[in-house]
């Protein structure tokens, strides 16, 4: 079984490079080849299902990264098999459909099928995952492949924006989900869904008491953010209609049948774990049913056929989310029926829209009409699917709605608002649904045939009809004989999620409350349609303040400007501020630490009792110190480079005094030599500078505030270093290594000068590297001297970047050598 | 034969050889062979240290702490290996980009010298020697930064030079302070002596000072200013090397100094580190979004990823340190590869300005795939390598209850995705007939091949995430336990003869004993 399952998931993934190759070779016919892949997966999952009679769940685990708690762990149970079947079967139908839809007017067929199979593999991985982290990995992979699919027609700005929006909305919310999953994993100690269901959750709750409830609720809400965004629930509903920029097969597959169901799937998956939380029902019911109503109204107000379907999908997903929310914590029932019903009619309608778009060249409800005369078969298919969407008797949509209403009527929640809110919203939404179902059929297929549509019209390939016809057939068959599904539902029932009841679905079960309600909805819907009429709806539109997508795009486009503002606020582009900020940060923090720990540090210095500063400074040293201080002040206050340099040199010369004082005449001499050489060299160099450079420097004095700030920073830095040097030099410390060098200089290193033995023997490696530094510095100087000089034309062209970065500092002849032409 | 010195000696000899040879095909061959050999040596070192624990070598046969020691523990070896791989990729890329005649003759010698500095800073076990290694690295980077920059760009090198020179000065002062406080510069011995001094304010102040110094080096907020505007003036292969390795030295020394050397209970400072990491990643990613050319975006992203690693270091648990190490492995490869992709983009489009770049997805799908893999990995999307590092950091952060910082980290990752998609949408997806794709310039084939190889390498990091994470855990254990590191160094002492007696003669307890003021030659006479 392991091999079969892995093959079902991995085959589509492995087929990706092959499909790219096939596309390059066969063009639009690659679709027929690609069909093999979902068919194989479907067969393999079907085989798994045939072995699932016993209804037991089976878990396959392959270790992957054990230290992170993540394993390649897959579960085969009713839920995963159901969704696996939906994904692979829809995969077959959509590939079949796409192979006709993506004709030679399109490009990159190979890539399309490759993305599609990548997506299918991620979906299969996701639904079969038993490990929450693994599920998240596949979850994000569906997001990436959906990004590529939405942006398939990437020449258009719409496609790119839609793809970006989908990726950010679901990806960003996915991060919340990641946080939720990790939080749950950290709290309970496992990421395994089975372990969580079988007690890890309740056990950790029992161990930690009531406070744990809060954390678990936070984890749950975070996970729900991810799931709800994936299923395009309010307030994330905006991305789905924009994802319609994808080619229609993608919309049919990802954005109605499979990927957007992931949120619903996830809710079902964690139902056994999380349904007991108090937040479960209020959160899901309120968001789900609110979305249901909003989606339905938006669908009514949209004019693009795909927009209508997208919003109606949002609405239906809202219903499914709410349905899980209001289910009894013991388990839901018939949820799979509702999902399947939606897959059938919505997948079918999307494919129909694709055909209409193909044939008539428009998807605008205001421009279409009268197509029934040209496309009779398609009209029948659409009528069936739309009837199912509206919930007319004889279709699966009717069965679904009946049983949903029945479930609500049968199971009353203790909180009154959790009863009336869903019921009211469902009834209103269903009403609106009837309305836009009528509108969809009426405006597309009936009425006069506009002349421009007629001119553009060309008959679609019969192949394209196969997939929607199969789906419509399902709507009708299971609508008329619902009991056909009952055994499947029993087989697929899942422990913890589903109530153990022996279900027998019937199309007619008497004059019940739910039947009256259905009847009322249909009647009122038809009446409202007569009242409103097509014309009035054509003039309506979605109010712009509810169109979050516009706000989202505006926000996305504003981000760079905002980022620029923040970046400039942090002074990242102001070189004059760099050093004061850096020095200030370091020395203010060090300085304040010294102040805070002042008493303790003073104690460490060994200066106890009645010492005075004057005692620490003998006259000779103080005098030299004074001279150094004056020289330093001159460096900072003098205004000419030359005099500044001389003052700086003075500081250096005066420092030699200290070497003498510490009986190191050789170092003193070195210091004098270095100072003299540096001073002479730099002065010589400066004398060759143009005079303007020096005067220019003098005239551009910084503003007073900056000068004061610089002085403050400098003073703090100086005081801090002085204070800490004083502390370190005078405080007690461990036996220093220096003593060893003094002692061992003669016996071990055979040298009488300890400094020399340290430099060339004990720590000769340092010296080797310092010599290397000198060599490198020479090379650097050489490099500066031999730098490329720009021609006048290049200099005028502005910054070009170094060679290679698109800039080629070369002759035309050189360029010839690299190029073919 | 002791392998520890090899990563330093090999590039040093190669650099000198390259200086003596003419910049022709022969030199190229020698350099590539040497770089490949460096990679092999480094990988051997990784395997050795993973099996045997840290390996130490005392240079000049002087026993520590008086001579300088080189120590290769697992972390050092991993860093050396990464540096080797990235330098090989960058040099091959550079060779494919420019013919011998146009290659700057000093680029290769300086790159190799840079490798010397890098490997030395990874391998040294001595604070002053670390300073020297920094000097080698910095002077090389100054030279390389200005080597090929044109007249317009060269001014951006000035802040880099100024800030890093100041940083060096502070570092030197800090080294002196460390010697004053601990009486030694040897990491292992400082570690021993500091262990009992965690409540000593001098240690805390020294730690803050070192944090400042290494913060400059790593590019931490608010010390990062030198980085984002200076890296874009580098040519592609050098940017890959700088972006991949040079700033990571800062992360490495933070790990080394806070992990192995300084006392481990400076928890207040670790919290500061974590928050600095958080702010850095946020500002880094915001800066990246504000830029509109590939190199600029990537340069700012260096900061945001440094933030991630420093955040993990700040969490300061063995798990978080392992996360930082794994993140480092992932990020070094991905970041330098992305710079290479950026270079190929600008070769093909003639610019990497996103407004004037387009058409690449149809023209060069392989480059596109490489970019997608790398970019999504950088943003931390599963199952790519970046995700696992991010996951580990999130796990540890939530475990420690650092909710705000984890929120910042996740926020950063979505904005990373935003800026990667900005490049993707503009350069790859946009079709614009007015933008030329210089596909006839055959060089792009070679460049794409290098890029794809690097992308495959990151895919390999993804596939072998399990073993690599195990390796990171082992390295992190080693840092946390310290004993193996210290024992490896002290073993050198024990192996030496007569001189050793004095070397080991400092009993550990004596350190905390107050030394009599009268015998202290550093005290002014009045105080004695």
pLDDT in tens, A739-765: 888 888 888 888 888 888 888 888 889
Q: Render pLDDT for A147-197 as a digit per residue (tens, 0 to 9).
A: 999 999 888 888 888 898 899 999 899 999 999 999 988 888 888 888 888
Kindly state the percentage of chain B with pLDDT values over 70.
93
CATH code (residue A701): 1.20.120
The Cα diameter of chain B in Å comes to 84
Q: Quote the CA–CA distance of A740 and B66 in Å, as a whole number.
A: 8
Contact at CB, B166 and A579, closer than 8 angstroms? yes
In a domain, B459, yes or no: yes
CB-CB neighbors (< 8 A) of A66 in chain B = 466
Model confidence at A243, pLDDT cuts 50, 70, 90, reads confident
- On the question of pLDDT at A821 being above 50, the answer is no
At residue B502 the predicted structure's pLDDT band, cuts being 50, 70 and 90, is very low
At A615 the pLDDT is 62
Q: Which band of pLDDT confidence, cut at 50, 70 and 90, is reported for residue B340?
A: very high
Q: Number of Cβ pairs closer than 8 Å across A and B?
A: 373
Residue A426 has pLDDT above 80, yes or no: yes
Q: Do B135 and A773 touch (CB under 8 A)?
A: yes
Percent of chain A with pLDDT over 90: 20
pLDDT > 80? residue B279: yes
Find the closest chain B residue to A741 by CA distance: B66
- The answer to which of A424-433, B103-112, B276-285, B499-508 has the lowest mean pLDDT is B499-508
Q: Do A590 and B290 touch (CB under 8 A)?
A: no
Find the range with the poorest average confidence among A406-420, B171-185, B283-297.
A406-420
A280 vs B43, higher pLDDT: B43
Please check whether residue B528 lies inside any domain of the structure: no
Please tell me which of the candidates A67, A724, A799 has its beta carbon nearest to residue B470. A67
Mean pLDDT of the A247-254 span: 89
The beta-carbon neighbor of B381 closest among A144, A732, A782 is A144
- Does residue B446 sit within a domain? yes
pTM metric for this prediction? 0.90
Residue A185 near chain B (CB below 8 Å):
yes
Q: How confident is the model at residue B321 (pLDDT cuts 50, 70, 90)?
A: very high
Give domain status of residue A23, yes or no: no
A176: which chain B residues are within 8 Å (Cβ-Cβ)? 410
Question: In whole angstroms, what is the distance from residue A176 CA to residue A179 CA?
Answer: 5
ipTM of predicted assembly, 2 dp: 0.89
Q: Is B143's CB within 8 Å of A164's CB?
A: no
Q: Which tops the pLDDT comparison, A442 or B210?
A: B210
Chain B within 8 Å of A619 (Cβ-Cβ)?
Answer: no
**Structural domain tally of chain B?**
1
> Would residue A797 count as lying in a domain?
yes
- pLDDT tens for residues B136-156? 999 999 999 888 777 777 778
A63's enclosing H/E stretch is: strand A58-65
- Give percent of chain A above pLDDT 70: 91
* For residues A711-723, average pLDDT: 91
Rounded Cα distance, B74 and B77, in Å = 5
Residues of chain A in contact with residue B431, where contact means CB-CB under 8 angstroms, are 154-155
Residue A663 has pLDDT above 60, yes or no: yes
- If you average pLDDT over residues A440-457, what whole number do you get? 83
Q: What is the pLDDT of residues A477-528, one digit of tens each?
A: 888 888 888 878 877 877 777 776 667 777 777 777 778 888 888 888 888 8
Structural domain contains residue B300: yes
- Average the pLDDT over A420-447 and give the result: 86
The CA–CA distances, whole Å, from A581 to A568, A571, A577, B221, B271 equal 14, 9, 6, 10, 21
Distance from CA of A770 to the nearest CA of B (A): 7
Residue A635's domain comprises 616-732+789-819
> Does the distance separating the beta carbons of B429 and A171 come in below 8 Å?
no
Minimum CA–CA partner of B101 in chain A:
A814
Predicted local distance difference test score (pLDDT) of residue B528: 35
Contacts of B503 in chain A (CB under 8 A): 740
B462 assigned to some structural domain: yes
CA dist B180 and B178 (Å) reads: 5
SS3 label, residue A450: coil
CA pair distance B167, B214, nearest whole angstrom? 8
* Both tokens assigned to A339: 């999902």
Asked whether residue B252 is domain-assigned, the answer is no
**Whole-number pLDDT of residue B513:** 36
User: How confident is the model over A675-704, as a mean pLDDT?
Assistant: 74
For chain A, the C-alpha Rg in angstroms (whole number) is 38
* Residue B224 dihedral angles phi and psi, to the nearest 5°: -90, 0
Q: What is the pLDDT of residue A608?
A: 59
- Provide mean pLDDT across the span B247-256: 92
User: For tokens 């300890």, what's the residue?
Assistant: A754
In the predicted structure, residue A283 carries a pLDDT above the cut 60:
yes
pLDDT of B498 higher than 70: no
pLDDT value for A89? 92
More confident residue, A240 or B511: A240
Where helices occur in A234-279 by DSSP H, the ranges are 239-242, 248-252, 261-274
Whether chain B has a CB inside 8 Å of the CB on A751: the answer is no
Closest chain B residue to the Cα of A598, Cα to Cα: B201
For residue B462, give its domain range: 266-480
| Inter-chain CB proximity B67 and A151 less than 8 Å | no
Contact assignment for B170 to A560 by CB distance below 8 Å: no
What the block records as the tokens of B95 is 């060779």
Number of domains in chain A: 1
Quote the pLDDT of residue B46.
94
Residue B299 lies in a domain: yes
Rg value, chain B, Cα: 23
Residue A25 has pLDDT above 90, yes or no: no
Asked whether residue B338 is domain-assigned, the answer is yes
Q: Residues in chain A, how many? A: 821
Q: What is the pLDDT of residue A592?
A: 92
pLDDT of residue B28: 92
Q: Provide the pLDDT for residue A427.
A: 85
């Amino acid at each position: 079984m392991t091999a079969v399952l892995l093959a079902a998931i991995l085959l589509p993934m492995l087929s990706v490079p092959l499909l790219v190759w096939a596309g390059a070779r066969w063009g639009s016919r690659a679709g027929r080849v690609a069909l093999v892949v979902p068919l194989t997966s479907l067969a393999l999952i079907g085989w798994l299902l045939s072995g699932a009679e016993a209804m037991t769940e089976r878990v396959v685990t392959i270790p992957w990264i054990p230290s992170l708690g993540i394993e390649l762990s897959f579960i085969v149970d009713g839920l995963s098999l159901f969704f696996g079947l939906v994904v692979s079967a829809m995969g077959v139908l959509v590939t079949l459909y796409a192979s006709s839809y993506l004709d030679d007017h399109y490009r990159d067929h190979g890539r399309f099928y490759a993305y599609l199979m990548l997506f299918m593999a991620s979906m299969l991985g996701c639904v079969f995952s038993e490990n929450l982290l693994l599920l998240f990995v596949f979850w994000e992979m569906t997001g990436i492949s959906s990004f590529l699919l939405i942006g398939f027609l990437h020449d258009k700005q719409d496609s790119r924006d839609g793809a970006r929006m989908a990726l950010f909305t679901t990806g960003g919310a996915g991060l919340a989900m990641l946080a939720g999953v990790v939080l749950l994993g950290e709290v309970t100690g496992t990421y395994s869904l089975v372990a969580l269901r079988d007690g890890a959750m309740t056990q950790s709750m029992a161990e930690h008491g009531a406070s744990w409830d809060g954390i678990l609720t936070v984890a749950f809400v975070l996970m729900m953010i991810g799931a709800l965004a994936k299923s395009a629930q309010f307030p994330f509903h905006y991305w789905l209609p924009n994802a319609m920029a994808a080619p229609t097969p993608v919309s049919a597959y990802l954005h109605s049948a499979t990927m957007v169901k992931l949120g619903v799937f996830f809710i079902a998956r964690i139902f056994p774990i999380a349904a007991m939380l108090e937040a479960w029902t209020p959160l899901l019911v309120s968001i789900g049913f609110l979305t249901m109503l909003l989606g339905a109204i938006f669908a009514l107000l949209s004019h693009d056929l795909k927009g209508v379907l997208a919003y109606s999908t949002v609405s239906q997903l809202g219903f499914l989310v709410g349905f899980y929310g209001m289910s009894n914590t013991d388990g839901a029932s018939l949820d799979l029926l509702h999902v399947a019903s939606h897959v059938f009619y919505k997948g079918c309608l999307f494919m129909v829209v694709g055909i209409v778009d193909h044939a008539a060249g428009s998807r605008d409800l205001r421009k279409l009409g009268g197509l029934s005369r040209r496309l009779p078969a398609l009209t029948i298919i659409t009528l069936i699917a739309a009837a199912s969407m509206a919930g007319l008797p004889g279709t699966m949509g009717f069965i679904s709605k009946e049983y949903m209403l029945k479930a609500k009527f049968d199971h009353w929640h203790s909180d009154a608002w959790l009863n009336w809110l869903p019921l009211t919203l469902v009834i209103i939404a269903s009403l609106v649904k009837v309305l836009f179902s009528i509108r969809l059929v009426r405006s597309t297929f009936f009425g006069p045939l506009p002349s421009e549509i007629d001119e553009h019209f060309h008959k679609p390939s019969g192949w394209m009809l196969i997939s929607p016809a199969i789906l419509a057939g399902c709507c009708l068959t299971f609508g008329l004989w619902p009991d056909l599904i009952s055994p499947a539902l029993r087989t697929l029932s899942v422990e913890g999620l589903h109530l153990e009841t022996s279900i027998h679905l019937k199309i007619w079960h008497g004059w019940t409350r739910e039947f009256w309600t259905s009847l009322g909805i249909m009647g009122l819907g038809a009446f409202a349609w007569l009242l409103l009429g097509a014309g009035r709806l054509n003039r309506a539109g979605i109010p712009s303040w509810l169109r979050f997508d516009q706000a989202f795009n505006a926000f996305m486009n504003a981000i760079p400007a905002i980022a620029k503002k923040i970046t400039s606020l942090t002074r990242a582009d102001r070189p004059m501020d760099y050093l004061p900020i850096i020095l200030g940060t370091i020395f203010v923090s060090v300085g304040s630490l010294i102040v805070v720990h002042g008493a303790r540090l003073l104690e460490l210095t060994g200066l106890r009792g009645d010492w005075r500063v004057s005692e620490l400074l003998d006259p000779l040293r103080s005098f030299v110190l004074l001279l150094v201080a004056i020289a330093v002040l001159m460096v900072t206050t003098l205004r000419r480079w030359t005099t500044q340099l001389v003052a700086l040199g003075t500081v250096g010369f005066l420092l030699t005094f200290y070497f003498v004082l510490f009986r190191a005449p050789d170092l003193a001499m070195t210091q004098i030599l270095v100072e003299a050489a540096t001073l002479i060299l730099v002065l010589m160099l400066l004398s060759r500078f143009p005079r303007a450079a020096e005067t220019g420097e003098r005239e551009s004095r910084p503003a007073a505030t900056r000068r004061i700030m610089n002085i403050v920073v400098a003073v703090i830095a100086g005081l801090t270093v002085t204070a800490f040097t004083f502390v370190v030099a005078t405080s007690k410390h461990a036996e220093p290594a220096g003593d060893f060098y003094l002692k061992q200089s003669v016996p071990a290193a055979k040298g009488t000068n300890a400094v020399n033995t340290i430099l060339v023997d004990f720590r000769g490696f340092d010296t080797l590297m310092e010599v290397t530094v000198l060599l490198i510095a020479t090379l650097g100087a050489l490099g500066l001297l031999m730098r490329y000089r720009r021609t006048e034309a290049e200099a005028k062209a502005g910054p070009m970047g170094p060679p290679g970065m698109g800039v080629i500092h070369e002759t035309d002849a050189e360029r010839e050598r690299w190029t073919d032409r | 034969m002791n392998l520890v010195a090899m990563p330093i000696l090999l590039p040093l000899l190669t650099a000198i050889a390259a200086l003596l040879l003419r910049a022709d095909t022969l030199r190229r061959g020698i350099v590539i062979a040497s770089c490949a050999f460096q990679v092999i040596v480094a990988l051997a070192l990784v395997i050795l240290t993973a099996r045997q624990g840290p390996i130490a070598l005392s240079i000049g046969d002087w026993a520590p702490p008086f001579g300088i020691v080189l120590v290769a523990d697992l972390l050092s070896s991993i860093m050396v290996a990464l540096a080797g791989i990235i330098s090989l990729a960058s040099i091959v890329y550079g060779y494919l980009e420019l013919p011998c005649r146009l290659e700057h003759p000093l680029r290769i010698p300086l790159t190799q010298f840079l490798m010397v500095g890098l490997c030395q800073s990874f391998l040294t076990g001595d604070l002053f020697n670390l300073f020297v290694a920094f000097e080698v690295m910095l002077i090389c980077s100054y030279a390389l930064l200005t080597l090929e920059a044109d007249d317009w760009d060269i001014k951006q090198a000035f802040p880099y030079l100024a800030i890093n020179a100041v940083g060096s000065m502070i570092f030197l002062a800090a080294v002196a302070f460390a010697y004053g406080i601990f009486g030694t510069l040897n990491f292992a011995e400082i570690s021993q002596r500091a262990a009992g001094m965690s409540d000593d304010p001098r240690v805390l102040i020294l730690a803050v000072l070192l944090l400042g110094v290494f913060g400059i080096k790593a590019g931490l907020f608010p010390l990062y200013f030198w980085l984002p505007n200076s890296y874009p003036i580098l040519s592609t292969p050098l940017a890959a090397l700088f972006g991949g390795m040079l700033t990571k030295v800062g992360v490495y020394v933070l790990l080394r100094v806070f992990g192995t050397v300084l006392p481990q209970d400076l928890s207040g400072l670790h919290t500061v580190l974590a928050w600095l990491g958080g702010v850095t990643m946020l500002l880094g990613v915001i800066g990246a979004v504000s830029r509109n050319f590939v190199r600029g975006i990537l340069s700012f992203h260096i900061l945001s990823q440094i933030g991630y690693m420093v955040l993990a270091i700040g969490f300061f648990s063995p798990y978080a340190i392992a996360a930082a190490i794994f993140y480092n492995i992932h990020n070094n490869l991905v970041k330098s590869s992305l710079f290479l992709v950026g270079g190929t983009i600008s070769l093909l489009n003639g610019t990497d300005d996103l407004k004037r770049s387009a058409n690449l997805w149809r023209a060069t799908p392989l480059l596109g795939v490489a970019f997608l893999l790398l970019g999504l990995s950088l943003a931390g999307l599963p199952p790519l390598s970046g995700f696992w590092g991010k996951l580990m950091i999130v796990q540890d952060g939530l475990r420690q209850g650092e909710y705000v910082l984890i929120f910042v980290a996740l926020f950063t990752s979505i904005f990373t995705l935003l800026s990667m998609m900005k490049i993707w949408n503009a350069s790859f997806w946009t079709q614009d007939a007015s933008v030329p794709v210089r596909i006839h310039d055959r060089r792009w084939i070679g460049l794409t091949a290098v890029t794809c190889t690097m992308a495959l390498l990151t895919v390999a990091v993804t596939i072998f995430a399990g073993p690599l994470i195990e390796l990171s855990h082992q390295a992190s254990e080693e840092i946390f336990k310290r004993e193996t590191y210290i024992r490896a160094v002290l073993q050198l002492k024990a192996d030496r003869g007569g001189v050793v007696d004095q070397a080991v003669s400092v009993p550990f307890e004596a350190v905390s004993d107050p030394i009599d003021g009268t015998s202290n030659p550093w005290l002014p006479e009045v105080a004695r």
